[in-house]
Chain A
Amino acid sequence: MPPASSAPTSPSNAVLLATSLLALAPALPAQEAKAQGPVWALQPTHVILPDGSTAEGQTVLVQGGRILGVGADLELPSGARRWKLDGVLAPGFVDAFSAYGTDAPAQEDSRALTPMLRAYDAVDLDGDDWGKLVEAGITSAHVLPEPNNIQSGWGALVASAGKDRMLVGRTRQVLSMVISRVGDPAFGPSSLAGAIELLQGADTARVPGVADRGVLAHVDDSAAIRAIREAVGKEVDTRWMMWGDAASYGGELRGQYAGMPIPGVGAWTPRGLETLKRLHKAGVKVCFGTWSPNGAAQPGDLRRAAATMSRLTGDPKAAMAAITSNAAAFIGSDQVGAIEKGRRADLVLWSAHPLDPSAQIRAVLIHGEAAHRVTDSE
């Protein structure tokens, strides 16, 4: 017979351990969940490291919802509880530009410039979407204002479950140079030139918070990229959201973080695939999200897109980064997207590598607390 999957074939032990571990979490007093809480030493079969590689024999120390350290030869603090876990411990996926989490689109149609709009105000923390994100291994989502205004407002990073879920209330100022969305034939702008003029007059770099937090620019051609660069200046940290045919302008984003919408069902085109491959080769740091100009992707599509990217580029690490560390950098957060010291303990235990579609989620920890566990019936 061909070699069996690397997925452990008898998950019951792992499930038992994971479930036992998770059962502890809700029992922890709230105060202990802070810095003075118990230390857990998680010892899974494999850990996915920040560079996307997979390592054996690693210990992940967690205390108060944060990662204290990761390593093969860590000295365990006294009192640390050791948990051997059968499976692959991966960082929770980060939905870099999410279609979920709001009860209504975050937008303001009356003006072209709405820099003070906050996507967070539209977030529905009690909505059903969050549960679906958790079940897909997505532990945090970047909620954005609709890119219908040249200055569209502020994005927000929200945890998919747990307490204190608003991780970053203002991530980046969203700019949009996509004329099909910001254009208004009645009130203007009606052309890219008009949009550029408005952008230049808006003095984005002086919008409070932009200098510190940076911008996220929706673009669909080279002219839009140049206009954004000229308007906000080199000092402002800029991320890019790619629309349209990125093959025609993606080369200008070499070495930078850029979001790429997931094509819809059956919408992968040879050119689109080749574009993704070449953007990766050119050094563009791609990340994925569930929002798309053509409608929402499913939460599970995030992992599927990463698997497609892995096969396409032959670079599983980059594919993994596209839904974890690159996504965090795209947002501007050093709290999520990797298993490393100081970050939130947003962790998912998989039965095999998450890029293996036959892998199943065994447990999800968000900020060190149980968000999802696999029951026997599952």
Chain B
Amino acid sequence: MALAFLAAVAGFAPTAASQEAADPGYQRTYTIHADACWLPGGRVVEPAFVTIDKGRIAGVSTRAPRERNTPFGVQKPTILRVEGTLAPAIVDAWSGLPMAGRDGGRRPLPQSRLAEDLPVLVAGADPGLAARVQALRNSGVGVVYLGRTDGNLQRGLGVVAGFSVDNLPYDMGGDWLDLSGAGAGGAAQIRAQDLKATFASAVALRDARDDFDEKLEKYEEDLKKYEEDFKKYLEEQKKAEKGGGKARAEDPKQDAKKDDKRPKRPKRPAPPKRNVAGDLILDAIDGKLPVRVQADSGAVVAAALDVAEEHHLKMLLVNAAGGTAHADRMADLGVGVVLDLSRQLAGDDALAQDFLAYSKAGVQVALGSGGRDLGPMMLTLAGELVAHGVDQQDVWAALTSTPAELLGLGGQAGALQGGAIGSMILFGGAHPFDASGVFRSHQPK
């Protein structure tokens, strides 16, 4: 089931807008020679030669690239020697990176695409944002999910973003339908009801459209029949006039009122009202748009799973606090979860317990910064989960490969492999969480 879900997620058709691939501006080709690197599946390569070409990983090997003979002579590869172990950059599946249009004061329209608010990829386009992105990248983050944080049920369309050479975010993963089930207690019950009602309304909208289509079809048939009948009627009228019968009245309308034999023109059915928000829900139901639901309570988790099951949605639950009772059902439905890493700031083991419960049930677990700017603390907080009993490799996967897969970026991020982005971290400690050794982030040039 999980594999099927992954395949389905990976196969999401990006929207037309996102198909215009942005050029993040990386130009250089070089090889990084490190002591080791972590590969997908937990394998380690020692030593490691990771070749970067225009911002993407061209290959990973234990041998240095060879010189190449070209028409212009021997081309020597550029090799940068570093000490430490390379690992992929973090994929923050719930970023708090603030940007224009994200929290602009006005509530966003349901159809507003955050991808359209991303800056133009030109150096200096947004220095403040670039500084924040630089800080994030220095903390080891390579990809972020950006969604709006306002409280509407339909928050618009979020976007998965990579970073350009000038530290500006660019769309790399297509749109996500962001739904908010934020809040607890009574608010959560209302949110849960609203969530179900929103999908029910969309289905009703589709039914109304189908009904309209049927009526329109019948109308067109009736209209055709009417035209034929009217033609016959006119011919009969002409014959009657020629035969010395009563001539047509000067006022045809007056005449028609009195003439019971005159066919009646059918009425065109009224189309349903335009509903853009409903259309987006229908896109999700049709599998064209993946759905993220922020579920801050068990009630919203249950409601989200109900609609996911009923409509076969490609869904990702965010936060899902209080939802571990539904973990088995989530696993059955192939619904992954993004846990809020900022909960670890409380210092207790509640987040670790949730992580373990979801993992045990077979739910794919990713970690995100909870819509906050945790950047420099992400690795520390994630490492604390290990202290609370979560397997180190599971935590690492929850920061890299799992969010990449859940966000539809399999192969593009979260792993050191050909085709993936070249953002990496270099650590000198025992593992990436360990701050007792040297830590650096690598950003392609």
**Nearest-CB residue, chain A, relative to B439:** A311
Cβ of A122 under 8 Å from chain B: no
Contact A265 B380 (CB under 8 A): no
User: A346-367 vs B: 1/0 string, CB under 8 Å?
Assistant: 0000001111111110000000
Contact B379 A358 (CB under 8 A): no
Instruction: Please give the distance in Å from A168's CB to the nearest CB on chain B.
Output: 29
CB-based closest 9 A-B pairs: A357-B383, A358-B386, A353-B436, A307-B435, A6-B430, A270-B135, A266-B372, A355-B436, A310-B435
Cβ of A292 under 8 Å from chain B: no
Chain B contact residues (Cβ within 8 angstroms of A): what range? Answer: 35 or more
Cβ of A304 under 8 Å from chain B: yes
Instruction: Please give the distance in Å from A361's CB to the nearest CB on chain B.
Output: 9
**Complex-state Cα separation, A360 to B384, whole angstroms:** 9
**Complex-state Cα separation, A105 to B375, whole angstroms:** 33
Contact B139 A311 (CB under 8 A): yes
In the complex, which of the residues B42, B381, B435 contacts A1, with contact meaning CB atoms closer than 8 Å?
B42
Residues of A within 8 A of B138 (CB): 273, 312
Instruction: Please name 7 pairs of A and B residues whose Cβ atoms are closer than 8 Å in the assembled complex, sorted by A.
Output: A5-B431, A6-B430, A266-B373, A268-B377, A270-B131, A304-B381, A357-B435
Instruction: Please give the distance in Å from B129's CB to the nearest CB on chain A.
Output: 10
**Complex-state Cα separation, A357 to B380, whole angstroms:** 6
Contact A314 B38 (CB under 8 A): no
Which residues of chain B (377-400) have a CB below 8 Å from chain A?
377, 379-384, 386-387, 392-393, 396
Cβ of A298 under 8 Å from chain B: yes
Cβ of A37 under 8 Å from chain B: no
**Complex-state Cα separation, A307 to B131, whole angstroms:** 21
**Nearest-CB residue, chain B, relative to A135:** B347
Residues of B within 8 A of A273 (CB): 135, 138, 376
Cβ of B374 under 8 Å from chain A: yes
Which residues of chain A (1-46) have a CB below 8 Å from chain B?
1-7
Residues of A within 8 A of B380 (CB): 304, 307-308, 357
Cβ of B437 under 8 Å from chain A: yes
Which residues of chain B (198-214) have a CB below 8 Å from chain A?
none
Contact B392 A358 (CB under 8 A): yes
Total interface residues on A, CB under 8 Å, equals 38
Contact A356 B44 (CB under 8 A): no
In the complex, which of the residues A311, A312, A357 contacts B381, with contact meaning CB atoms closer than 8 Å?
A357
Residues of B within 8 A of A270 (CB): 131-132, 134-135
Residues of B within 8 A of A3 (CB): 44, 430-431
Instruction: Please give the distance in Å from B415's CB to the nearest CB on chain A.
Output: 13
Cβ of A54 under 8 Å from chain B: yes
In the complex, which of the residues A2, A7, A312, A320 contacts B42, with contact meaning CB atoms closer than 8 Å?
A2
Known: A2-B38, A268-B377, A311-B139. A353 touches B429 (CB 8 A): yes
Cβ of B235 under 8 Å from chain A: no
Contact A304 B377 (CB under 8 A): yes
Contact A356 B376 (CB under 8 A): no
Which residues of chain A (290-312) have a CB below 8 Å from chain B?
298, 300, 304, 306-308, 310-312
- Among A6, A265, A271, A356, chain B packs the most CB atoms within 10 A around the CB of A356
**Nearest-CB residue, chain B, relative to A46:** B436
Cβ of B342 under 8 Å from chain A: yes
Binding site for A on B (CB under 8 A): 38, 42-44, 96, 131-132, 134-135, 138-140, 342, 345, 347, 372-377, 379-384, 386-387, 392-393, 396, 429-431, 433-440
**Nearest-CB residue, chain B, relative to A317:** B436
Known: A298-B347, A357-B387. A268 touches B434 (CB 8 A): no
Residues of A within 8 A of B383 (CB): 356-358
Which residues of chain A (301-359) have a CB below 8 Å from chain B?
304, 306-308, 310-312, 314, 316, 319-320, 352-359
- Among A268, A271, A273, A311, chain B packs the most CB atoms within 10 A around the CB of A311
Residues of A within 8 A of B382 (CB): 357
Contact A300 B434 (CB under 8 A): no
Residues of A within 8 A of B433 (CB): 356-358
**Complex-state Cα separation, A246 to B364, whole angstroms:** 43
User: A247-268 vs B: 1/0 string, CB under 8 Å?
Assistant: 0000000000000000001101
Residues of B within 8 A of A354 (CB): 436
- With A308-B435, A358-B386 given, name 11 new contacts (CB 8 A): A2-B44, A5-B434, A54-B436, A266-B96, A266-B373, A270-B134, A270-B135, A308-B376, A311-B376, A357-B380, A359-B387
Q: A-B contact count, CB below 8 Å?
A: 122
Known: A357-B383, A358-B392, A359-B387. A265 touches B372 (CB 8 A): yes
Instruction: Please give the distance in Å from B416's CB to the nearest CB on chain A.
Output: 12
Contact B345 A353 (CB under 8 A): no
**Complex-state Cα separation, A274 to B380, whole angstroms:** 19
**Nearest-CB residue, chain B, relative to A273:** B135
Instruction: Please give the distance in Å from A113's CB to the nearest CB on chain B.
Output: 39
**Complex-state Cα separation, A241 to B51, whole angstroms:** 46
Contact B392 A268 (CB under 8 A): no
Contact B387 A360 (CB under 8 A): yes
Instruction: Please give the distance in Å from B83's CB to the nearest CB on chain A.
Output: 11
**Nearest-CB residue, chain A, relative to B431:** A5
**Nearest-CB residue, chain B, relative to A307:** B435
Contact B347 A355 (CB under 8 A): no
**Complex-state Cα separation, A1 to B39, whole angstroms:** 9
Instruction: Please give the distance in Å from B296's CB to the nearest CB on chain A.
Output: 17
**Complex-state Cα separation, A289 to B8, whole angstroms:** 49
Residues of B within 8 A of A308 (CB): 376-377, 380, 435
Instruction: Please give the distance in Å from B315's CB to the nearest CB on chain A.
Output: 27
In the complex, which of the residues A5, A271, A311 contacts B392, with contact meaning CB atoms closer than 8 Å?
A5
Contact A358 B438 (CB under 8 A): no
Instruction: Please give the distance in Å from A288's CB to the nearest CB on chain B.
Output: 14
- Among A307, A310, A358, chain B packs the most CB atoms within 10 A around the CB of A358
Instruction: Please give the distance in Å from A137's CB to the nearest CB on chain B.
Output: 12
Residues of B within 8 A of A268 (CB): 135, 373, 375-377
**Nearest-CB residue, chain A, relative to B133:** A270
**Nearest-CB residue, chain B, relative to A310:** B435
Instruction: Please give the distance in Å from A64's CB to the nearest CB on chain B.
Output: 31
Instruction: Please give the distance in Å from B333's CB to the nearest CB on chain A.
Output: 31
Instruction: Please give the distance in Å from A259's CB to the nearest CB on chain B.
Output: 19
Instruction: Please give the distance in Å from B157's CB to the nearest CB on chain A.
Output: 24
Residues of A within 8 A of B393 (CB): 1-2
Known: A265-B345, A266-B96. A353 touches B434 (CB 8 A): yes
Instruction: Please give the distance in Å from A147's CB to the nearest CB on chain B.
Output: 26
Residues of B within 8 A of A7 (CB): 430
**Complex-state Cα separation, A274 to B139, whole angstroms:** 12
Residues of B within 8 A of A314 (CB): 438-440
Instruction: Please give the distance in Å from B344's CB to the nearest CB on chain A.
Output: 9
Residues of A within 8 A of B44 (CB): 1-3
In the complex, which of the residues B134, B135, B342 contacts A265, with contact meaning CB atoms closer than 8 Å?
B342
Contact A356 B342 (CB under 8 A): no
Residues of A within 8 A of B430 (CB): 3-7, 352, 356
**Complex-state Cα separation, A300 to B349, whole angstroms:** 13
**Complex-state Cα separation, A258 to B138, whole angstroms:** 24
Known: A5-B392, A314-B440. A357 touches B384 (CB 8 A): yes
